[in-house]
Amino acid sequence: MALGLRNALAGVGVTNLKIACGNNCTNSTAQTKYQAPTGSHRWKLFDSKMNLNAAMWDNLDANGRCNLMLHELLHWAGFPGSPTHDDTGDDEVYSCGRYCGKCSAALLGGNRPHGRSADCATCSSNPVKKAVCGSLKKWMSGPCTVNFGMGPQPFAAKCDWGTEPCANCQWLQSLSCDGTLQGEFGNICCEACPCPAGCVQPSIVCGWPGLVAMEWDTCIDGALPHCR
Ligand SMILES: [Zn+2]
């Protein structure tokens, strides 16, 4: 997307952009009508149009204006955002506008869970870049199955030091700050055991402090590169 915008700013693959400030719609800070280039670049017939709401623009601080302008320029460059763009405000266009607007919280979705860290992750194009924004590890709970790419298979975790199957298991999920699943780590512990007469305890008991401590949340906004 960044490359697309850079090309657009260099005049590649876009029509001219007219910017006006006559948008009086109550809940619209700005609208950009994308016009695809038609024919040769030289003989394009129509311009793209951005229409700002002057009153709402006046209420934005400098970072909010940067956020909004980047958002609208991405539309001009041919990025409409997700199908739920104006319902959720958490797609790439919204997130990159906010994050690259020095972590502005303005516009729809500005208070999404994990806030700036989530915007950072959504605006990052691959897992390595997303990891710079922080990460989450959390325990999940459910049937004791394991998936090696061929669908869920029964997992052989045992209670009572290896004699009884677990009734329920927990496993660790690793997530980017925007909730993108990055990895899952087996069925690590037995959450519940049938525990017949004489049962001692599960082989690895969920809730053991050492396991609980494996939860992790570094999506805390503090050290994000664009928030300083
Ligand atoms: Zn938009």
pLDDT per residue as tens digits for the range 64-82: 999 999 999 999 999 999 9
pLDDT at 193: 75
Contact 160, 151 (CB under 8 A): no
DSSP 139: E
Residue 27 pLDDT grade (very low, low, confident, very high; cuts 50, 70, 90) = confident
Cα 31 to averaged position of ligand 1 atoms, centre (Å): 7
Interatomic CA distance for residues 166 and 139, integer angstroms = 16
**Whether the Cβ atoms of residue 192 and residue 166 lie closer than 8 Å to each other:** yes
In b/e form, how buried is each residue of 105-133, taking b as 16+ CB within 10 angstroms? bbbebbebebbbbbbbbbbbeeeeebbeb
**The predicted structure's pLDDT at residue 82:** 96
- Please state the pTM of the whole predicted model: 0.82
Q: How far is the CA of 72 from the centre of ligand 1 (A)?
A: 6
Is residue 208's pLDDT more than 90?
no
Calpha distance 62→223 (Å, rounded): 21
Q: Tokens 């007219």 sit at which residue?
A: 18
- Per-range mean pLDDT, top range of 15-19, 44-48, 192-196: 15-19
The CA–CA distances, whole Å, from 149 to 37, 152, 176, 185, 195 equal: 43, 8, 21, 14, 31
Is pLDDT at 42 greater than 60 in this prediction?
no
Return the axis-axis angle of helices 92-100 and 62-76, rounded to nearest 10°.
Answer: 140
How far, in Å, is the centroid of ligand 1 from the Cα of 105? 15
How many distinct helices (H) and strands (E) make up the chain? Answer: 8, 11
Strand partners, 165: 158
Give residue 89 CA to ligand 1 midpoint distance, Å: 8
Q: What percent of the chain has pLDDT over 70?
A: 84
Window from 77-86, 133-142, 193-202 with minimum mean pLDDT: 193-202
**What's the angle, vertex CA 41, arms to CA 36 and CA 46, rounded to 5?**
45
173 alpha carbon – ligand 1 mean position (Å):
32
